[in-house]
């Protein structure tokens, strides 16, 4: 199961890079839904952080949009900039206006 999850994170990371135009240093990737549970600031072991961490390792810039309050949170890598609270608003216009080259959403689905 761990190997399959790792492969999935790798696939999403690759697709985000392709959507941004390749592996250029400094690509800006907008990420939303970082927290483990919707409308919380719970980042404990959040699988939603794995793809942004991999993109950062590839020298991308991550601008995060989340339903929790803006700002740094315990457990959030310092390289991720929290840009805005979403409150369920459609993000496409906001991501485009943020200057992002691509956008990802990695929130887990309720089981």
- Which residue range is the domain that position 87 belongs to? 2-105
Q: What is the pTM of this model?
A: 0.76
Q: Is residue 72 part of a domain?
A: yes
Q: Is residue 88 part of a domain?
A: yes
The Cα 95–Cα 81 span in angstroms is 13
Q: Is residue 110 part of a domain?
A: no
Burial of 97 (0-12, 13-18, 19+ CB in 10 A): exposed
Domains identified in the chain, total number = 1
pLDDT tens per residue across span 20-48: 887 678 888 888 777 766 667 777 777 78
pLDDT tens per residue across span 43-89: 777 778 888 999 999 899 888 876 665 566 777 888 888 876 555 54
Q: Is residue 111 part of a domain?
A: no
**Average of pLDDT values for 99-111?**
70
Q: What CATH code is carried by the domain that includes residue 10?
A: 3.40.50.720
Q: Is residue 76 part of a domain?
A: yes
Q: Is residue 40 part of a domain?
A: yes
């Amino acid at each position: 199961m761990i190997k399959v999850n790792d492969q999935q994170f790798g696939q999403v990371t690759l697709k985000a890079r392709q959507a941004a135009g390749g592996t250029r240093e400094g690509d800006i990737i907008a990420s939303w839904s970082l927290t483990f549970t919707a409308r919380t600031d719970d980042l404990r072991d959040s699988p939603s952080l794995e793809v942004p961490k991999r993109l950062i390792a590839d020298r991308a810039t991550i601008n995060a949009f989340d339903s929790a309050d803006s700002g740094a949170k315990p457990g959030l890598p310092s390289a991720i900039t929290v840009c805005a609270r979403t409150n369920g608003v459609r993000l496409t216009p906001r991501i485009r206006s943020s200057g992002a080259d691509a956008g990802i959403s990695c929130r887990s689905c309720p089981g």
